[in-house]
A and B are shown apart, each in its own frame.
Chain A
Amino acid sequence: EVQLVESGGGLVKPGGSLRLSCVASGFTFNTYTINWVRQTPGKGLEWVSSITSSSGYIYYADSVKGRFTISRDNAKNSLYLQMDNLRAEDTAVYYCARKTISARHFDYWGQGTLVTVSS
């Protein structure tokens, strides 16, 4: 069974940092592109970042470029999101989501981890 489990969320002050993790199981992690997607409380989904299977290509939404860093450790089946210089508007549930190999969509999602940026 494919599983993605996020962790690392919490309360952080504006300007602070946080590192999210996503541990994958049930599939060959090192062959898939994985994404971070966030959802502001009560609002819609926003794609945040993407990293290809061997970390060869990395992409960011404009809203987080220069502040967030995505990375992965294929030996640990793990994805990370280092979030620096956090703002109130970064408050959201952060999901990791797997992109299919053969098509362009996200087929499996984790349950999310809540990040709250507040003083």
Chain B
Amino acid sequence: QTVVTQEPSFSVSPGGTVTLTCALSSGSVSSSYYPSWYQQSPGQAPRTLIYSTNTRSSGVPDRFSGSILGDKAVLIITGAQAEDESSYYCLLYVGSGLWVFGGGTKLTVL
């Protein structure tokens, strides 16, 4: 069974930079997994931030970026703002029509 791991929580100071990671239980994350990232505030549906590793969704501020670093997909927030305090989820397409979400990272901005 494929498990996707994210940091459960992370803290960043306003204006700071944070790198959230998305790792596979076995093997490396590559662009072939089409990593995408979603932001979710409490009581809200997820919102797409990044897809296909590094493409920002329409309307997403350019302080959000995505890439592959080593064997993980990463979401980088450069110049974090108070409104970025949310949960962040990565999603990987693992083939054969199957998808797996990471466990999510709860980001605190303080």
Contacts and interface: CB of A to CB of B under 8 A. Distances in A.
Contacts of B52: 103-105
**Most chain B CB neighbours (cut-off 10 Å) among A61, A62, A104, A112:** A104
Contacts of B38: 45, 106
B64 to A, nearest CB: 14
Contacts of B55: 103
B45 A112 contact: yes
B27 interface: no
A117 B11 CA distance: 35
Nearest to B42: A42
B25 interface: no
B38 to A, nearest CB: 8
Interface in B44-80: 45-48, 51-52, 55, 57
Contacts, number: 61
A109 B101 contact: no
Nearest to A46: B101
Contact of B91 (A57, A105, A110, A111): A105
B101 A105 contact: no
B34 A103 contact: yes
B106 to A, nearest CB: 10
Contact of B34 (A50, A62, A104): A104
A35 interface: yes
Interface of B: 1, 34, 36, 38, 40, 45-48, 51-52, 55, 57, 89, 91, 93, 96-104
Given A103-B52, A104-B34, A106-B46, 6 more contacts: A45-B89, A47-B100, A61-B98, A95-B46, A105-B91, A106-B36
Interface of A: 35, 37, 44-47, 50, 57, 59, 61-62, 95, 97, 100, 103-107, 109-112
